[in-house]
Amino acid sequence: MAFDPIEFIETKKDGMKHRPKEIQEFIRLLVSGDLPEYQAAAWLMAVIFNGLAFSETLALTQAMATSGKVYKWDTDGPPVVDKHSTGGVGDTVTLVVAPLVAAMGMRMGKHSGRGLGHTGGTIDKLESIPGFRTSLTEKEFRKIVNRVGCGVAGQDKSMTPADGILYSLRDVTSTVDQEALIASSIMSKKLAGGAMHILLEVKVGSGAFMKDPESARSLSKLMIRLGMASGRNVRTVLSSMSSPLGRAVGNALEVREAIKVLKNDTPDDDPLKRIAIEIAARLASMCGFGKIHQTRSRARSCLAGGAALSRFRDMVSAQGGDEAVIDQPEKILPHAGKILEIPSTSNGFLKTCNALIIGELVRDLGGGRKSKNDVIDSSVGILIHSRPGMKVGSGDVLCEIHTNGRISNSEAVQRAESAFKVVSRKPEIPDLFI
């Protein structure tokens, strides 16, 4: 029987289940342009109200994954791994993890996105390095990943076109926050990327998509099931994102921060360092490189001994970037015109630094986009001096605002101040890992 889009929408509107074949047909017609977007939008809204069963979510994920180019990696080289972090603030994990896993004997060829809304994008960060190219042909990308062990490219337009269409529609029809739609969107891209071992970091908290641990756990379970049913080894790690992960928020500032971690120039309790080590160690363990305590110590020594830094240098140079960024990041990376310091007005302990407020402020300083075509200023951002739980004295600098005046200084200062909450008694700070 021929596929009838109206009936397809009606089935979901009435809370009934689609057969996998119908979902495949829906995706095929959507990508070929034979199904209008308004019908897809109506279906998405029906999914918001009535959800998708696992069999439907799996069919949707696989149909989206195969709607465009699917990467296949040779199986005789080092294992190919991938990671994904659900959007965070001050989250520079990929810049550290990619060279770290390469140093540990894995390959990571990552397709990354640009920032949208209050969360940053890896591609925007890397492009603050003069000359760095993120637009690579498949051939160039493969060559770099196979030679260096890691490479980061922008989203390949010919991959998962179905997700591209649905994601843009969801963005403008208030249909983003549905578990099955989020899981299928993320997993379709991971399946198309071709890695056998995939670690998903799901962030929880005010700065993340998932506001509470229960919904994050439920999303995790679903993504693991989708991956396993598609023949991939998938694990997840839940981490807290109520404060920005790293000290730096903003493109060039985050690159500087990542280089610091790669130079092993940060303390062991540095959250960015901890999370990068944990992700790399778990991936290595998933690849059969040893028990988690062994791979953790291997990850630490690859950072401490400079092996990860050396892979980063090779990747920057292979992708056309100025290698001097590693030895002299302050000189090579762009600088903002003005730095405003925000001092604490009281004595006590820092309770929170609101990731959402910081993320939105950096976006409005010019570090991110409100709509797709906005041009970003990679030099602006916020450098946080104090982490939640730390003692602060009146007059101590809580953070620096790096600005070029896209919003007034008084507005920037007032918004930055509102992100920090100082209390008199030492607060309980939840651990990074949940």
At 173, which amino acid appears? T
Residue 373 backbone phi and psi in degrees, to 5: -95, 5
Q: Where are the beta strands (DSSP E) in 74-210?
A: 81-85, 108-112, 150-154, 197-204
Would you say 56 or 270 has its CB closer to ligand URA?
A: 56
In whole angstroms, what is the distance from residue 22 CA to residue 9 CA?
Answer: 11
Segment holding 422, helix H or strand E: strand 420-423
Would you say 184 or 386 has its CB closer to ligand URA?
A: 184
- Interaction site with ligand URA (CB under 6 A): 86, 181-182, 185-186
- Part of the chain binding Ca ion (CB under 5 A), chosen from 2-10, 109-117, 201-209, 221-229: 2-10
- For tokens 């296949």, what's the residue? 72
- Part of the chain binding Ca ion (CB under 5 A), chosen from 6-14, 149-157, 219-227, 390-398: 6-14
List active site positions: 84, 163, 170, 185, 189
Residue with CB nearest ligand URA? 185
Choose the contact partner of 182 out of ligand URA, Ca ion, none; CB within 5 to 8 A by kind: ligand URA
Would you say 36 or 77 has its CB closer to Ca ion?
A: 36
Would you say 64 or 365 has its CB closer to ligand URA?
A: 64
In whole angstroms, what is the distance from residue 250 CA to residue 242 CA?
Answer: 17
Q: How far is the CB of 5 from Ca ion (least distance, A)?
A: 10
Residues 38-97 that bind Ca ion (CB under 5 A): none
Choose the contact partner of 4 out of Ca ion, ligand URA, none; CB within 5 to 8 A by kind: Ca ion
Residue count, binding to Ca ion (CB under 5 A): 2
Choose the contact partner of 187 out of ligand URA, Ca ion, none; CB within 5 to 8 A by kind: none
Token code pair at residue 268: 């062991």
Choose the contact partner of 185 out of ligand URA, Ca ion, none; CB within 5 to 8 A by kind: ligand URA
Token code pair at residue 92: 């520079």
Answer whether 345's CB lies under 8 Å from 92's CB.
no
The DSSP code for 367 is I
Segment holding 384, helix H or strand E: strand 381-384
In whole angstroms, what is the distance from residue 187 CA to residue 180 CA?
Answer: 10
Return the residue of 4, 171, 212, 214 that touches Ca ion, per CB under 5 A.
Answer: 4
Instruction: Tell me which residues touch Ca ion (CB under 5 A).
Output: 4, 7
